Structure 1
Amino acid sequence: MDYIETWKEVMQRPSDFYRKMPTTGGYAEPLTFAAISYIIYGLLIAIFNRGMMEDMYGGMGVRGFGFSTIITIAISIPIMGIISLFIGAAVLYLIYKLLGGTGTYEGTVRFMSYATAVQVLSWIPIIGFIVGLYRIYLYIVGGMFVHNISMGRSAIAVVLPYLVGFLLVMILALLIFSTVAISDTFI
């Protein structure tokens, strides 16, 4: 696997890439791609956002954001990223199945793994938000080809977990707010 060529194809021509991407063949190649993307992201976050992290954790007695911290971040981010990739793929796979998708869990892991290409740029302030949106687009396109469904259904499958999460946060905030308001009334 040529990481740089694959990265460029995913970022520049996602429809062509996902159309040609095998949906079977094991997890090794796509997960290697994802791990490299996460390692690059972890290193760039640790190196270029050091000052911000020292400010953020400095109040808790953390000083000297050194080499060992950079290595720890560079190792932990890929591990957490791969774990979250498998969990996210399970959620999306189920939603795609409910929407009539015909793809496999392996295919879902594969397209999500290649969508981690955005991680290489997501450490940059403001650009990180934009490529985060682009990742959603990559998920929609990848899901469309892997699960053989329309772009609209794929968009619903990808956006649905975000909407459910947002609604749960809003309900929790309302519950907390109403509990605080009620307790203030009785004081």
Structure 2
Amino acid sequence: MTEEDRFTKSIFDNALKVIRDPAAFFRQMPREGGFGAPVIFLAAMVFLGLIVNLIGAALIIRPHNLGGGLIMLIAAPVIMVLLSFVSAAVLFLIWRIIGSKQSYETAYRCMAYSCGILPVTSAISFIPFAGVVLSTLWGAYLIISASIHVHGIKPAKAWAVWGIIAVIFIGINLSAEMGSRYAARNMVRQRLEMQKLQDNAVKEMQKAKKEMYK
């Protein structure tokens, strides 16, 4: 069994290592060996994260509204794998700018294995506002760990660069969440107003019928 085989023999073991001790994980992570193992790991984490989302949504949303979620359970891992190569390219560019000498494959591996927290952050995401903040900060911490222990970036520089990026993402995500919650409240209010108008119309019709038969 090769070093790569030993390292990738258990998807769940690797996810637990990323969650429990990311610094040790990234120090031990093979820098190369192909894209197969990290791609499979990422797809598995996306799939598990979506299952957590569906379970959480089932407790809040009526089952007949979950059809889209079931479709995404099949499509999302494929879509995310395709997008992951673009995400890794962005990370690779930033790492190169701040001094990394590692390859694109290494950047991809760092990004893919950082997704080991997806099942947990999917659960955290149901906490209003705080979920966005905690998930973003946790993800940033993993990228910082990879920057230090894989790419050889000085801790101060890694924390400064990725900290600023994390703050920007938190601001964007919080604004998006506030907007979606405001839109949802408006939809509920409009629905209630429409229902009230319908009820009043029915009452007026019933009243008119009574007047006709007097």
TM-score, structure 2 as length reference = 0.64
Match of 1:28 among 36, 48, 60: 36
Q: Which moved more, 1:71-80 or 1:158-167?
A: 158-167
* Secondary structure of 2:65's aligned partner: coil
Structure 2 gap segments, 5+ residues each: 1-8, 174-214
The Cα of 1:83 is off from its aligned counterpart by 3.1
Change in CA separation of 1:164 and 1:45 when aligned onto 2, cut-off 3 Å: closer
Q: Which moved more, 1:42-51 or 1:136-145?
A: 42-51
Corresponding residue of 1:172: none
Q: Percent identity?
A: 22
Instruction: Tell me whether 1:7 sits opposite 2:15 in the alignment.
Output: yes
* Secondary structure of 1:123's aligned partner: helix
Change in CA separation of 1:168 and 1:20 when aligned onto 2, cut-off 3 Å: closer
CA distance in 2, matches of 1:164, 1:128: 16
Contact 2:43 2:77 (8 Å CA) reproduced? yes
Query: Residues 23-172 of structure 1: matches in 2 within 5 Å?
Result: 23-50=31-58, 52=60, 64-66=64-66, 68-124=67-123, 125-126=126-127, 128-129=131-132, 130-159=134-163, 161-162=165-166
Residue type of the alignment partner of 2:137: L
Deviations 1:71-114 (A, max 9, x none): 31212322333233222211121111111111111111101111
Residue type of the alignment partner of 1:153: K
Residue type of the alignment partner of 1:65: N
Residue type of the alignment partner of 1:36: A
Change in CA separation of 1:168 and 1:48 when aligned onto 2, cut-off 3 Å: closer
Residue type of the alignment partner of 1:143: S
Corresponding residue of 2:25: 17
Residue type of the alignment partner of 1:37: M
The Cα of 1:33 is off from its aligned counterpart by 1.0
Q: Which moved more, 1:36-45 or 1:68-77?
A: 68-77
CA distance in 1, matches of 2:26, 2:59: 38
Change in CA separation of 1:157 and 1:53 when aligned onto 2, cut-off 3 Å: farther
Relative contact order (C-alpha < 8 Å, sep 6+): which is higher? 1
> CA-atom RMSD, angstroms?
2.7
CA distance in 2, matches of 1:20, 1:118: 18
Corresponding residue of 2:205: none
